[in-house]
Amino acid sequence: MYNVILFLLVPLKSIEVELEVRDHVATVVSTLNYENKEDKPLEAVFVFPLPGDAAVCHFSAEIGKTQIVAEVKEKQKAREEYDDALSCGQQAFLLEESDRSPDIFSLSVGSLPPGESASIRLEYVTELAVQADDGLRFCLPAVLNPRYQPQGSEGAGVQVTSVPASLVPYSLSFSARVSSPRPISKVESNCSLDPLQYLNTDQTQATVKLAAGHKFDRDVELLIYYKDAHQPTAVVEAGQASAEPGSLMGDPVVMVSLYPEFPQSVMSSMASCGEFVFLMDRSGSMGCHITNSMQQETRISSARDTLLLLLKSLPMGCYFNIYSFGSGYEHIFPKSVEYSQQTMEEALKTVEQMEANLGGTEILQPLKHIYSQPCIPNQPRQLFVFTDGEVGNTKEVIDLVKKNSDSHRCFSFGIGEGASSALINGMAKEGGGHAQFITGTDRMQAKVMQSLRFALQPAVVDISVTWDLPKEVSVTVLSPPIKTLFQGQRSLIYAQLTGQVAEGCVTVKYSLAGHPSENQLHFSLRPAEDTGLTVHRLGARTLIRSLEMDERESRGQQDGGVKEKVVKLSVQSGVSSSFTAFIAVNKDNSEVIQGPLVRRNIPTPCEFISKEKTKTLSISVFSFSTIIRSSCYFIFVFPAAAPEQPPRDPLLHLVSLQEASGCWLLDPALATALGKTNKEANSEVWATILALLWLHAFKMDAKDEWELLAMKAASWLQMCAQSVTSNKLAVNQNFYSYFSTAVLPLI
């Protein structure tokens, strides 16, 4: 049963989104259509999500036949100009980034007269993240869950007006055009799409649209696959003719995309050591379903299954610990312990009891505690963070991860719709790890195991980038230093070039498992045609984010000029920052808008709000008396009692029976999991072989999930064979013949 309270229709009527993807860069143009059907002038305020790494580069308004293009100005000045315009009866428009999280923006449409319509155009560019399966991920955020404001945090929290996704009063249309030098293999989505339409015979250009009837119950995710995606590239973009020579916008900018290839001899062996620290979100919202379908498992139940798989896949000889957090935090062991059958079983008993019952989302304190623990010699620390990302102190968390980046690698996982892309991507980027998002029908286990493979790769050290250019050409690197490299993962470098030449070369040198290696890319410095200023804006965004982090680190110190540098660069490049805002004022309208201005908050879709979080959420929710006074009504939906849990997945049942060493024991439960009688499983060796064969016979579609623990089982079998041979014991020849022909090929 649901409790429903009606809400008043809002002036935002529709959103139209046009996406253009060129190789691995996306340009997004959103048009927001407003109409005031009330008898009073309105101020419409819309707080909405954007990708955390987006470079917002254009903002304009069209009223009738008048178009007003916004300018980038220092944030406080822009706010004052907006307020002054409204007080004078003028129309004004303000777009600003949240001070606390770069993936939340606020759009204010001021003085919209009765019966008037307005179209707001917003444009941003962003890079597409490479997934472990080589797909490029684009996400159009739609869901904005209220962000938890930690106790004692400085500054006001992000004010979010939210309603359940099914009751959002405006529509969304979405279309995408994809082009690449390489053929487009396929485009997948978590939403219903019309069929992909190729525009040429070599399949390097295609279009796709969101199917009619889309509901705002999820972010719109596209996964784009190219043939031969792992090709290093360099794109040089000519400077802006009207910009000052020698400035970032006036000089050419190069974007270099590198895919380091590691020696196969090194990659064939996974690390057998490390300290693995798992940090699990157990706030109230983790009790929500991963999607809004009541048939799906909850976030916390999927997380429990994932922890089971991780614990079974860890190598013998490593160390581990598990933390969980909500309003406070807990840990299974006082400090990380050596991985063994006993410690694994003790941890699993606690994991099985984990529920989403710890209240808010205080992620900062457990992170501080983890970082305060001394590192274990010769056991590199690998931190895995699982959260739905509904936190309000995003920048503080990212800054803390960066501060401790020399002592660990951080792998982050955003669970469910509305997880903060700024938080998840920022933690992984600053922690030298990898980010994953689990939405829709995604299995968390498969994506987490992909990250575990990265964590088990040898750490790449001594990374350096050198440029081979003629003497008359200088290079200014805009990107921060590369801190981590993974097999098959892309690294992007932006650089400003001064001077004109034909050819250049960039070399990345590094050491892997004690072996020095290098990768080179030769490229033409002739500007590519028809690239606009996309590369310049992405380069400016990259430099702005680095400077913003430097500014936070330098607070209270002598260097007070970083903010001024950010503002200057933001204004010069036309790219938003945390210290600037877009402001547009309609000065052509001679008529003064009469009457008191009524504010209307535009709601964003959110998922179910759990009772544990309603006490502490920083959300713009009106009291009943306020609702009566303003005639604004909001909807709150609470799910009915959770349905009975479905029977356990057979794969997870089998995994739960594996020993820490990698073998399976003679046990009636194993026979049941395999569909065998107890008499058919007559030894640990045979039980382990049967388990491996069952995995290969019936669960090949989930190989990404069990491959590591199967490798551990095969290694255990090899040790058994070597032990028997070295001790010259009597051997069952049939078994070892079967082992050699049936089991070893599976390793």
Provide DSSP, 251-279.
S-EEEEEE-----HHHHTS--S--EEEEE
Please say whether the beta carbons of 545 and 56 come within 8 A: no
Tell me, what's the pLDDT at 134? Answer: 83
Q: What pLDDT does 636 receive?
A: 37
| pLDDT tens, residue by residue, 253-305 | 999 988 877 777 766 666 678 999 999 999 888 888 776 544 567 889 989 99
Report the range of poorest mean pLDDT among 16-25, 235-244, 519-528.
Answer: 519-528
Question: Would you say residue 228 has pLDDT above 90?
Answer: no
At residue 350 the predicted structure's pLDDT band, cuts being 50, 70 and 90, is: very high
Backbone angles phi, psi at 443, to 5 degrees: -90, 120
In a domain, 616, yes or no: no
Q: What span, in angstroms and rounded, lies between the C-alpha atoms of 85 and 613? A: 38
Same domain, 352 and 441: yes
Distance CA 604, CA 107 (A): 12
- The dihedral through the CA atoms of 692, 693, 695, 701 has a sign that is positive
Q: What is the pLDDT of residue 1?
A: 32
Average pLDDT score over residue span 556-577:
85
Lowest mean pLDDT among 224-238, 477-491, 574-588, 629-643: 629-643
Mean predicted confidence (pLDDT) in 370-382: 94
Predicted confidence at residue 297, as pLDDT, reads 78
Contact 322, 280 (CB under 8 A): yes
At 229 the pLDDT is: 73
From 419, 434, 456, the end of a domain falls on 456
User: Is 41 in the same domain as 144?
Assistant: yes
Same domain membership, residue 156 and residue 63: yes
Please identify which residue in the block is written with the tokens 């991963």. Answer: 290
Among 395, 404, 348, smallest CA distance to 372 is for 404
- pLDDT score, position 15: 93
Is the residue at 628 inside a domain? no
Residue 715 DSSP SS3: helix
Instruction: Compute the distance between CA of residue 210 and CA of residue 208 in angstroms, rounded to an integer.
Output: 7
Are 336 and 441 contained in the same domain?
yes
**Lowest pLDDT segment from 382-386, 561-565, 603-607:** 603-607
Distance CA(320)–CA(278), nearest Å, equals: 8
d(CA 366, CA 332) in angstroms, rounded, equals 13
Which element (helix H / strand E) includes 714? helix 703-727
The enclosing domain of 283 has a CATH number of 3.40.50.410
**Are residues 308 and 656 in contact, defined by beta-carbon separation less than 8 angstroms?**
yes
- Provide the H-helix boundaries in 593-702: 611-614, 624-630, 650-656, 668-674, 684-698
Whether residue 680 is found in the same domain as residue 700: yes
Question: Are 550 and 660 in a shared domain?
Answer: no
Please say which residue of 441, 456, 471 terminates a domain. Answer: 456
Q: Are 111 and 86 in contact (CB under 8 A)?
A: yes
Query: What is the pLDDT at residue 626?
Result: 32
DSSP string, 382-434: EEEEEE---BS-HHHHHHHHHHTGGGEEEEEEEESTT--HHHHHHHHHHTTS-
Residue where a domain terminates, one of 548, 572, 596: 572
Report the alpha-carbon angle 237-238-242, nearest 5. Answer: 135
Answer whether residue 7 shows pLDDT above 80. no
Do residues 77 and 119 share a domain? yes
Residues 114 and 137: their CA atoms lie apart, in Å, by 41
pLDDT tens per residue, range 14-40: 999 999 999 899 999 999 999 999 989
Better-scored residue on pLDDT, 67 or 728: 67
Residue 620 is predicted with a pLDDT of 35
Is 356 part of any domain?
yes
- Identify the domain containing residue 669 by its residue range: 650-746
On whether both 425 and 280 belong to a single domain, the answer is yes
CATH code of the domain containing 555: 2.60.40
In a domain, 294, yes or no: yes
pLDDT at 199 over 90: yes
Pairing of strands 71-74, 580-586: antiparallel
Structure tokens at 701: 């579609």
Which pLDDT tens digit goes with each residue over 390-437? Answer: 777 888 999 999 999 999 999 999 888 878 889 999 999 999 998 998
Do 471 and 427 fall within a single domain?
Answer: no
Q: Is 708 exposed, middle or buried (0-12, 13-18, 19+ CB in 10 A)?
A: buried
Classify 653 as helix, strand or coil: helix
Look at residue 534 in the predicted model and tell me its pLDDT: 93
If one counts every other C-beta atom within 10 angstroms of the C-beta of residue 728, the result is: 7
Cβ neighbors of 495 (< 8 A, separation 6 or more) are 253, 254, 256, 467, 475, 476, 477, 478, 479, 539
Q: What is the pLDDT of residue 743?
A: 53
Q: Which of 36, 11, 54, 110 is nearest to 583 (CA)?
A: 110
Q: Which of 294 and 603 is assigned the larger pLDDT?
A: 603
pLDDT at 486: 84
Q: Residue 173: pLDDT above 70?
A: yes
Highest mean pLDDT (candidates 42-46, 451-455, 489-493, 697-701):
42-46
Please report how many Cα atoms fall inside a 13 Å half-sphere around the Cα of residue 214, on the Cβ side.
26
685 plus 599 within the same structural domain: no
Q: Mean of the per-residue pLDDT values for the chain?
A: 83
Number of domains in the chain: 4
Nearest to 620, CA basis, from 608, 631, 632, 607: 632
Read off the pLDDT band of 618 (50, 70, 90).
Answer: very low
Q: Is residue 415 part of a domain?
A: yes
Residue 633 falls inside a structural domain: no
The pLDDT, as a whole number, for residue 738 is: 52
pTM: 0.84
Query: Picking from 10-19, 163-172, 737-746, which range would have the lowest pLDDT averaged per residue?
Result: 737-746
Looking at the fold, whether 204 and 223 belong to one and the same domain comes out as: yes
Residue of 691 and 624 predicted with greater confidence: 691
Q: Are residues 516 and 393 in the same domain?
A: no
400 lies in a domain?
yes
Helical axes 364-372 vs 394-403, angle rounded to 10°: 10
Question: Is 626 inside a domain boundary?
Answer: no
Q: In this model, does residue 3 exceed pLDDT 50?
A: no
